[in-house]
A and B are shown apart, each in its own frame.
Chain A
Amino acid sequence: MANKLINQMGLPKSIANVFAARNITTAKEALSLTEFELMEVLDVSMAQVTSAIARISEITCPPYQTVLSLMEQRVQMEHMGGHLSTQLKGLDQALCGGIPFGVLTELVGPAGIGKTQFCLKLALLASLPASCGGLDGRVIYIDVESKFSSTRLIEIGVKSFPEIFHTKGLAQEMAGRILVLRPTSLSEFTESLQQIKISLLQNQVKLLLIDSMAALVSGEHVQGATRQHLLGWHISFIKSLAEFSRIPVVVTNQVRSQSHDEICQYSFQAHSRQKTKEDYKGHDSHLVPALGIHWAHAVTIRLVLDAKSGKRFIKLAKSPVSPPLAFPFNITSSGISLLTDDGIELTGPEINTIHCQGHSDIIHFDGERLQYRAA
Chain B
Amino acid sequence: MEVGRLPLSASQRGKLISAGYTTLASLSSISPSDLARDLQVPESEAFEMLKVAKLGCGLEQPDKHTAIVNGAQTAWDILNEERLLPRITTSCADLDKILGGGINCKEVTEIGGVPGIGKTQLGIQLAVNVQIPVDCGGLGGKAVYIDTEGSFMVERALQIAEASVVNWSSYSELLRKESQACQVEIQPTDILEKIYYFRICTSTEQIALINYLDQFISEHKDVKIVIIDSVTFHFRQDFEDFALRNRLLGGMALKLMNLGKKYNLAVVIFNQVTTKCTEGSFQLSLALGDSWSHCCTNRVILYWNGDERNAYIDKSPSLRSASASFSVTSGGIRNSASKHKRIRVM
A48 to chain B: closest CB distance in Å?
8
* Cα–Cα, bound, A299→B275 (Å): 18
Indicate whether B222 reaches chain A with its CB closer than 8 angstroms. no
A354 to chain B: closest CB distance in Å?
14
Known contacts A294-B236, A350-B307: A45-B208 contact under CB 8 Å = no
B208 lies within 8 A of A31 (CB): yes
* Residues of chain B in range 18-67 having any CB-CB distance to chain A below 8 Å: 48, 52
What residues of chain B lie closer than 8 Å to A365, measured between beta carbons? none
B236 lies within 8 A of A57 (CB): no
Indicate whether B156 reaches chain A with its CB closer than 8 angstroms. yes
A66 to chain B: closest CB distance in Å?
5
Name the residue of chain B whose CB is nearest to the CB of A45. Answer: B9
B200 lies within 8 A of A269 (CB): no
Name the residue of chain A whose CB is nearest to the CB of B11. Answer: A43
B154 lies within 8 A of A71 (CB): yes
Name the residue of chain A whose CB is nearest to the CB of B216. Answer: A64
**Hey, what's the 0/1 contact readout for A59-72 against B, CB within 8 Å counting as 1?**
01110111111110
What residues of chain B lie closer than 8 Å to A278, measured between beta carbons? none
Indicate whether A331 reaches chain B with its CB closer than 8 angstroms. no
A297 lies within 8 A of B233 (CB): yes
B282 lies within 8 A of A323 (CB): no
What residues of chain B lie closer than 8 Å to A132, measured between beta carbons? none
Indicate whether A317 reaches chain B with its CB closer than 8 angstroms. yes
* Cα–Cα, bound, A71→B192 (Å): 9
**Hey, what's the 0/1 contact readout for A283-297 against B, CB within 8 Å counting as 1?**
000000000111011
Indicate whether B179 reaches chain A with its CB closer than 8 angstroms. no
Known contacts A57-B211, A348-B306: A298-B248 contact under CB 8 Å = no
B208 lies within 8 A of A318 (CB): no
A262 lies within 8 A of B282 (CB): yes
Identify which of B120, B151, B238, B285 contacts A233 (C-beta below 8 A).
B238
Please indicate which of the listed interface residues B48, B195, B278, B285 has the most CB atoms of chain A within 10 Å of its own CB: B195
B197 lies within 8 A of A264 (CB): no
B192 lies within 8 A of A320 (CB): no
Query: For chain B, which range describes its interface: under 10, 10 to 19, 20 to 34, or 35 or more residues?
Result: 35 or more
Name the residue of chain A whose CB is nearest to the CB of B157. Answer: A67
**Hey, what's the 0/1 contact readout for B152-195 against A, CB within 8 Å counting as 1?**
01111111000000000000000000000000000001001111
Known contacts A66-B196, A348-B308: A293-B151 contact under CB 8 Å = no
> How many residues of chain A have a CB within 8 Å of chain B?
77
* Cα–Cα, bound, A103→B147 (Å): 13
Main secondary structure, interface of A, reads: helix
A369 to chain B: closest CB distance in Å?
11
**Hey, what's the 0/1 contact readout for B227-251 against A, CB within 8 Å counting as 1?**
0001011101110000010011001
B153 lies within 8 A of A321 (CB): yes
**Hey, what's the 0/1 contact readout for A227-246 against B, CB within 8 Å counting as 1?**
00100110110011011000
Identify which of B149, B189, B305 contacts A297 (C-beta below 8 A).
B149
Indicate whether B346 reaches chain A with its CB closer than 8 angstroms. yes
What residues of chain B lie closer than 8 Å to A232, measured between beta carbons? 236-238
Identify which of A34, A240, A242, A296 contacts B248 (C-beta below 8 A).
A34
What residues of chain A lie closer than 8 Å to B212, measured between beta carbons? 54, 57-58, 61
B7 lies within 8 A of A293 (CB): no
Identify which of A46, A262, A294, A300 contacts B153 (C-beta below 8 A).
A300
* Cα–Cα, bound, A316→B19 (Å): 72
Indicate whether B319 reaches chain A with its CB closer than 8 angstroms. no
* Cα–Cα, bound, A243→B8 (Å): 44
Identify which of A66, A239, A264, A302 contacts B193 (C-beta below 8 A).
A66
* Cα–Cα, bound, A61→B8 (Å): 28
What residues of chain A lie closer than 8 Å to B329, measured between beta carbons? 323
* Cα–Cα, bound, A40→B154 (Å): 45
Indicate whether B209 reaches chain A with its CB closer than 8 angstroms. yes
A242 to chain B: closest CB distance in Å?
8
**Hey, what's the 0/1 contact readout for B62-78 against A, CB within 8 Å counting as 1?**
00000000000000000
A320 lies within 8 A of B7 (CB): no
What residues of chain B lie closer than 8 Å to A102, measured between beta carbons? 150
Indicate whether B12 reaches chain A with its CB closer than 8 angstroms. yes
A348 lies within 8 A of B154 (CB): no
A96 lies within 8 A of B209 (CB): no
Please indicate which of the listed interface residues B155, B238, B305, B321 has the most CB atoms of chain A within 10 Å of its own CB: B155
Known contacts A34-B248, A61-B209, A350-B307: A320-B237 contact under CB 8 Å = no
Identify which of B121, B156, B207, B284 contacts A265 (C-beta below 8 A).
B284
B284 to chain A: closest CB distance in Å?
5
Indicate whether B312 reaches chain A with its CB closer than 8 angstroms. yes
* Cα–Cα, bound, A180→B144 (Å): 42
What residues of chain B lie closer than 8 Å to A67, measured between beta carbons? 145, 154, 157, 192-193, 195, 197
Indicate whether A39 reaches chain B with its CB closer than 8 angstroms. yes
Indicate whether B303 reaches chain A with its CB closer than 8 angstroms. yes
* Cα–Cα, bound, A354→B138 (Å): 43
Indicate whether B272 reaches chain A with its CB closer than 8 angstroms. yes
**Hey, what's the 0/1 contact readout for A17-46 against B, CB within 8 Å counting as 1?**
000000000011001101110011011111
Indicate whether B317 reaches chain A with its CB closer than 8 angstroms. no
* Residues of chain B in range 201-227 having any CB-CB distance to chain A below 8 Å: 201-205, 207-212, 214-216
Indicate whether B199 reaches chain A with its CB closer than 8 angstroms. yes
B301 to chain A: closest CB distance in Å?
6
What residues of chain A lie closer than 8 Å to B230, measured between beta carbons? 297
B194 lies within 8 A of A66 (CB): yes
What residues of chain A lie closer than 8 Å to B202, measured between beta carbons? 1-2, 28
25 A–B pairs (Cβ distance < 8 Å), ordered by A: A2-B204, A31-B204, A39-B7, A39-B10, A45-B9, A45-B52, A46-B8, A58-B212, A61-B209, A62-B199, A62-B205, A65-B197, A66-B192, A67-B154, A81-B155, A261-B281, A265-B284, A268-B346, A293-B114, A293-B272, A293-B273, A294-B274, A296-B116, A297-B149, A297-B230
In the complex, the 9 A-B pairs of residues with the closest C-beta atoms, listed nearest first: A348-B307, A57-B211, A318-B116, A2-B204, A232-B237, A60-B208, A296-B115, A68-B192, A57-B208
